[in-house]
Structure formats: C-alpha cells, structure tokens
Amino acid sequence: MLIKEFISQTNKNQMISMILKHYGVGSVKLKYKSMRDYAHFDVDRGELQLSTKYKTIKKSQIKEFLITIIHETYHAMDAKKYGWKKFKEMYELEMNYQISQGKDEYKDNKYEIAAEEFGQSNYTKWLQKFKKEGLI
C-alpha cells in the first residue's frame, strides 16, 4: 500500500486517540494551539497541545509527527504514573540539575531522553499499524 500524499485531520486525530488509549492515557485533554512543534504535553494543565499549523500531515512529515506524538504521550504516561504535581517537580529538579552541571536543561534532561527514545523505538510499530488500518 502506498502512503497517501496527506494525512487528513480526521485520520490524524484518530491516530493520536489510538496512541493515547493504547498507552493508558486516553483521558488526556487535547487542545489546539498555535505553535511551531507538532505537539507538546503541558503537565500543568494535563493536556496534549496540538499545533494548529499542521491541520494535515504531508508524507515527508509522517515520521517526525509520529515520533513527536509518541514522545509527548510518554510525558503523559509519566504524569499519570507519578501524579502531575510530582512529575512536574521531578522534571524541574532534573532541569535544574542539568543547568548546575553546565548542560542543557532540555537536551540533557533524562525525562526528555527517555521520551525521545520511546518515540524513536515505537515509531515503526505505529507506522505499520496505521498503514494497515488505512489511516496513512
């Protein structure tokens, strides 16, 4: 099956919903917001913020889009696991630790590294699933 030229907003939303439900965070609120990235998990609000910039996803954007959604879902999983207040505390402590070590608060943050590894390692599984479902 060939990958479609664009993924519609309906299919994109269905894919996000499937990922969230699969990882047990289906109750996470979704909010559309003007931003550069595809998505961001806002731990303060307990919501997955989705960019209004990407109503449809181009073929060339599929990999980065899926990795980002899975990455942000991992943050939602951590927030559920530890409680959002505790997770926010832990995340900020890690940021401060990295700064105190002269490192980057984001790139060297163990929670970001774990989320990115999770996104990278699960991307192919979801790509195959969505192709099989006819969403891509």
Average pLDDT, stretch 7-25? 93
Residue ranges with strand state E in the chain: 6-7, 29-33, 39-42, 47-51, 57-58
For the residues of 83-100, what is the DSSP string, one character each?
-HHHHHHHHHHHHHHHHH
pLDDT of residue 2: 46
- pLDDT tens digits, one per residue of 37-58: 999 999 888 899 999 998 888 8
Cβ neighbours of residue 11 closer than 8 Å, sequence gap 6 or more: 135, 136
Token output for 106: 């984001």
- pLDDT tens digits, one per residue of 52-105: 998 888 889 999 999 999 999 999 999 999 999 999 999 999 999 999 999 999
pLDDT of residue 4: 56
Token output for 124: 């192919």
Average pLDDT, stretch 21-35? 94
The answer to whether residue 111 scores a pLDDT higher than 70 is yes
Q: CA 99 from chain center: how many Å?
A: 24
pLDDT of residue 19: 98
d(CA 30, CA 16): 10
Q: What domains appear along the chain, each with residue ranges and CATH number?
A: 7-127 (1.10.10)
pLDDT of residue 109: 98
pLDDT of residue 5: 64
* Cβ-contact 28, 12 below 8 angstroms: no
| Residue % of the chain over a pLDDT of 70 | 96
Indicate the pTM of the whole model. Answer: 0.92
